[in-house]
Chains A and B, each alone.
Chain A
Amino acid sequence: MSGAARAAKGAQGITEAIIAEHGLSPEEYKLLLEGLGREPSLTELGIFSVMWSEHCSYKSSKVWLKKLPTTGPQVIQGPGENAGVVSLGDGQAAVFKMESHNHPSYIEPYQGAATGVGGIMRDVFTMGARPIANMNALRFGAPDHPKTRHLVAGVVSGIGDYGNCMGVPTVGGETNFDARYNDNILVNAMCVGLVDANRIFKSAARGVGLPVVYVGSKTGRDGIHGATMASAEFDEASEEKRPTVQVGDPFTEKLLLEACLELMAEDAIVAIQDMGAAGLTSSSVEMADKGGVGIELELDRVPTREEGMTAYEMMLSESQERMLMVIKPEAERTAERVFKKWGLDFAVIGYTTDTGRLVVRHRGMVEADIPLGALAHQAPVYERPWTAKPAPAAVDPREVPAPNSVFQALQALIACPALCSRRWIWEQYDHMVMADTVQRPGGDAAVVRVHGTGKSLAISCDVTPRYCAADPREGAKQAVAECFRNLSAVGADPLAITDCMNFGNPERPEIMGEFAEAVEGMADACSVLAFPVVSGNVSLYNETNGVAIPPTPAVGGVGLIPDGAPMARLALPRDGDILLLLGAEAGHLGQSLYQEMMTGRTEGAPPPVDLVQEKAAGELVRDLIRLGAVSAVHDVSDGGLLVAIAEMALAGGRGVGLEPAPDNLPAHAIWFGEDQARYVVAAAPDKADAIHKAAALAKVPVRLIGRVGGDALTLPGEAPLPLAALKAAHEDWLPHFMSHG
């Protein structure tokens, strides 16, 4: 029986209801019929549905993502592969990407988060890189929402258990609590790996008649339609989707990592692609389509862990810890030996062909026979209608009430869910394994050594969702700028970013507008800061019953501290230093945490981002660090200047005698305004002249804000605030919250 005949026979059962269940619109089904030239079998329908899902096809976002700058002299591989690659010099390169696992993590927080971490690490080692650091960006609902505690506990434990077992340090991240995430939490995981620049593996399967090899775990029925689930809104029935969440096995992934890297040292692999979303379907289609070949799969050879799996189930399974490779025919024995050594399944399940078609055989039948172009580059692309949000008006700081006491306000702020210590989270992550973590969690950026060299990589994840909700364009700019600042603050030259674009339903013009504006803001910032996007992920439909999350364009940045160059920390290292503020003060309280604390709301425009100032201030700070002129550095962000100073004092265990606020602005706007492009630096008093001169050249304002010493913060007119009290306020909230169900 020919494939077409078999498929035509299978088509009889395809009803409108089945099409809708697969998330395809009537128009998309029409496009499918054109691409295929006939009615699909159920397996073919399933294959189209996952390949054309938002998650796999980027159909709503594609036209916008093209606006992002993706090139630069440091860029070896931009978007389009499993992860982006930037040069570190000396023939070395960093491979990195951030990806969302939002929908599964809400439904099953432990496994959802764990497999998110597993997936992003696979993306990195698929490129031939050894993962050296994990990061994550987490958004939970309001602390008083009944599910929040359960979700935090599950997500943190899932991330920890997976990364800890893999032996890859989880070195930092960020966490927000906001009622707008009550029904749609965000779990964005980032992985950074290290590779020799001339040993990078890609996914294009060039060559005909080459064996297609399946390695890793066996295929089960878990995760079927995960990609489709991630491309739809939630409703009351969403928790019934628990079976679509995959189950992670970090031990097998550790073996898969070692086996892949061992085989990659041989001359065996033509192309490699991990089986992530849409599993066997997307990995085989992507490799063949990119290589300009066809592919034939014999599903009877796929290792399965359940009896009687159908072609449909095998093609759509999202079982974890699996890889698909196209290898050189003469390397089959070598490959088999390596994978058997590591106790992993190894099976030749097909061959590349010259037909340009995906042909799937099972039990002697052709279950699918589809032109690859129809699945990949002929997938639907939408220019969805969008509306811009009117930009909110700036807030006059005089209209935000002053506190009774600046220090009392500080003590309350630093204990709030947005600013309190994340120690409870990161102490559950092994952040030291691999013995290269030179800056642990809690600083502006995590720093890991490039093993065996004097170079280090700085990594930071950033976005301020409340800014993005008020003004997606300015908020996205700010996310990139803050990441740039965090890397600069440790002394790293920012290299490039990965992004994780988390938004609501793009079919709503206002959501599409948020997306469009965020992309444009991000593009502006990346371009001015020479900080290109090399990889990323889009997660849409983060909404429940028509209520969307705030636009959350999370940015993960990587920077390089060159061989022998100093690294800065935020901890104040010694008494007697002076504290200086670098950057202009305008007292922006719109969308500030202070405004929220005093008024119960965040309103108005977020602080504007002056990218030219950001660039100048960043370069200045890096220069000062390299010159050895500063002893500690911290960027000013959430909570404003006084919070930044308090964090430096707490980290160093040293007090600060503060200068009174200048009187050109209300004092609370000076202390708590969230103006951008600012850093606090500590320095020996004899370095003050040099710093002033360098700042004047860079056109960055400088102001003396205090002197290091004692065991309290002091300020004329305020009772001294002992560090011990500040520390208790900062450290206690999260553990207390998590242990008091």
Chain B
Amino acid sequence: MRASVIVFPGSNCDRDAAVALEAATGRPPAMVWHGDSVIPQSDLIVLPGGFSYGDYLRSGAMAAHSPVMREVAARARAGTPVLGICNGFQVLTEAGLLPGVLMRNSTLKFICKDVYLRVERNDSIYTRHYEQGAVVRFPIAHKDGSYFADEETLARLEGEGLVAFRYSGPQGEITDEANPNGSRNNIAGVYNETGTVLGLMPHPERLADATLGGTDGAKMFASLVEALH
């Protein structure tokens, strides 16, 4: 699997994503600078976490208009898988590649902690190594992670099975207590209609190494490697 990681000014999880990708694929991904309009041939494009352009407008809003995003959008429409993690998820929603928007956490504070997620589908290229309904532990680290979409969009996401992960309790229970940021329907990550674009606020790349305290994230990269060779 050949992966490319897009680096915006202010990206800061680009190295973390690269380390997890290299561990899964055995080769370092291409790091693509935001000012470049050419992305190398890639089986997977990753938009990493961070604070692109300082997130001084809305989180992800500036990056969504950077030169490289035109190419990312074209590749996504042509079927190339695109994974947006944290700020990358915010960029994908701002760029219109995923529905909804990420708003300020209901606590109004930055939150960094491990959370439990329920894997809503295990038939996607991102989740085939998880059990259906499995509960996994990923860290979150964000201030603007409250997923919001209007009722119609939510109904469509739910109806078409486009919710990828939900914040849950340790047994998979979907409760308000398990929802760290006020996301609608406890949504932590969503797919596009084809299941090839995934955005999620939690960080799979941060728990993909046993010495860091967990490997639940590694299965996402392993799934991708298997699905995309």
Residues of A that sit less than 8 Å from B by CB: 157, 160-161, 164-167, 249-252, 254-255, 341-343, 426-438, 440, 449
Taken together as a complex, chains A and B put the C-alpha atoms of A255 and B7 apart, in Å, by 12
Q: A167-B13, A433-B12, A434-B16 are in contact. Are A157 and B109 (CB under 8 A)?
A: yes
**B64, chain A: closest CB distance, angstroms:** 16
Taken together as a complex, chains A and B put the C-alpha atoms of A428 and B108 apart, in Å, by 10
* 3 smallest beta-carbon distances between A and B, as pairs: A167-B12, A251-B54, A435-B16
Residues of A within 8 A of B113 (CB): 427
B139 at the A/B interface (Cβ < 8 Å)? yes
Residues of A within 8 A of B53 (CB): 251
**A426, chain B: closest CB distance, angstroms:** 8
**B38, chain A: closest CB distance, angstroms:** 17
Q: A428-B110, A429-B112 are in contact. Are A165 and B54 (CB under 8 A)?
A: yes
Residues of B within 8 A of A430 (CB): 110, 112, 141
Does A166 contact B12, Cβ atoms closer than 8 Å?
A: yes
Chain A residue nearest to B53 (CB atoms) is: A251
Per-residue interface assignment for chain B, residues 133 to 148, with 1 indicating a CB less than 8 Å from any chain A CB and 0 otherwise? 0000001010100000
Taken together as a complex, chains A and B put the C-alpha atoms of A160 and B108 apart, in Å, by 13
Does A249 contact B111, Cβ atoms closer than 8 Å?
A: no
Taken together as a complex, chains A and B put the C-alpha atoms of A252 and B13 apart, in Å, by 17
Taken together as a complex, chains A and B put the C-alpha atoms of A313 and B31 apart, in Å, by 42
Taken together as a complex, chains A and B put the C-alpha atoms of A432 and B206 apart, in Å, by 7
Residues of B within 8 A of A435 (CB): 15-16, 19-20, 205-206, 209, 212
The total of chain B residues at the interface (CB under 8 A) is: 31
Residues of A within 8 A of B167 (CB): none
Taken together as a complex, chains A and B put the C-alpha atoms of A676 and B126 apart, in Å, by 52
Cross-chain contact of B112 among A251, A254, A431 (Cβ < 8 A):
A431
Residues 50-66 (chain B) with a chain A CB within 8 angstroms: 50-51, 53-56
Cross-chain contact of B110 among A160, A166, A167, A436 (Cβ < 8 A):
A160
Does A251 contact B51, Cβ atoms closer than 8 Å?
A: yes
Residues of A within 8 A of B56 (CB): 251
Chain B residue nearest to A342 (CB atoms) is: B9
CB pairs A–B below 8 angstroms (29 shown)? A161-B143, A164-B112, A165-B55, A166-B12, A167-B12, A167-B51, A250-B51, A250-B54, A251-B51, A251-B54, A251-B55, A254-B9, A254-B12, A254-B54, A341-B35, A427-B112, A428-B112, A432-B112, A432-B206, A433-B12, A433-B13, A433-B49, A434-B15, A435-B20, A435-B205, A435-B209, A437-B212, A438-B211, A440-B213
Does A254 contact B10, Cβ atoms closer than 8 Å?
A: yes
Residues of A within 8 A of B50 (CB): 167
Residues of A within 8 A of B16 (CB): 433-435
Chain B residue nearest to A449 (CB atoms) is: B211
Per-residue interface assignment for chain B, residues 28 to 41, with 1 indicating a CB less than 8 Å from any chain A CB and 0 otherwise? 00000001000000
Residues of B within 8 A of A343 (CB): 9
Per-residue interface assignment for chain B, residues 44 to 81, with 1 indicating a CB less than 8 Å from any chain A CB and 0 otherwise? 00000111011110000000000000000000000000
Residues 113-166 (chain B) with a chain A CB within 8 angstroms: 113, 139, 141, 143
Taken together as a complex, chains A and B put the C-alpha atoms of A429 and B54 apart, in Å, by 17
Taken together as a complex, chains A and B put the C-alpha atoms of A428 and B141 apart, in Å, by 8
Does A438 contact B111, Cβ atoms closer than 8 Å?
A: no
Does A438 contact B10, Cβ atoms closer than 8 Å?
A: no
Residues of A within 8 A of B143 (CB): 161, 164
Residues of A within 8 A of B209 (CB): 435
Chain B residue nearest to A423 (CB atoms) is: B113
Q: A433-B13, A437-B212 are in contact. Are A161 and B54 (CB under 8 A)?
A: no
Taken together as a complex, chains A and B put the C-alpha atoms of A613 and B10 apart, in Å, by 48
Taken together as a complex, chains A and B put the C-alpha atoms of A433 and B16 apart, in Å, by 8
Residues of B within 8 A of A157 (CB): 109-110
Residues of B within 8 A of A161 (CB): 110, 143
Q: A164-B110, A430-B110 are in contact. Are A251 and B212 (CB under 8 A)?
A: no
Does A433 contact B111, Cβ atoms closer than 8 Å?
A: no
Residues of A within 8 A of B206 (CB): 432-433, 435
Residues of A within 8 A of B51 (CB): 164-165, 167, 250-251, 254
Chain B residue nearest to A429 (CB atoms) is: B112
Cross-chain contact of A427 among B9, B111, B213 (Cβ < 8 A):
B111
Residues of A within 8 A of B203 (CB): 432
Residues of A within 8 A of B109 (CB): 157, 428
Q: A343-B9, A430-B141, A437-B212 are in contact. Are A249 and B54 (CB under 8 A)?
A: yes
Does B212 contact A438, Cβ atoms closer than 8 Å?
A: yes
Residues of B within 8 A of A429 (CB): 110, 112
Taken together as a complex, chains A and B put the C-alpha atoms of A161 and B10 apart, in Å, by 13
Chain A residue nearest to B217 (CB atoms) is: A435
Cross-chain contact of B10 among A165, A427, A431 (Cβ < 8 A):
A165
Known: A164-B141, A432-B141. 4 other contacts (CB 8 A): A164-B112, A426-B112, A438-B212, A449-B211
Chain B residue nearest to A156 (CB atoms) is: B109
Taken together as a complex, chains A and B put the C-alpha atoms of A436 and B206 apart, in Å, by 9
Does B110 contact A251, Cβ atoms closer than 8 Å?
A: no
Taken together as a complex, chains A and B put the C-alpha atoms of A583 and B190 apart, in Å, by 55
Taken together as a complex, chains A and B put the C-alpha atoms of A341 and B13 apart, in Å, by 20
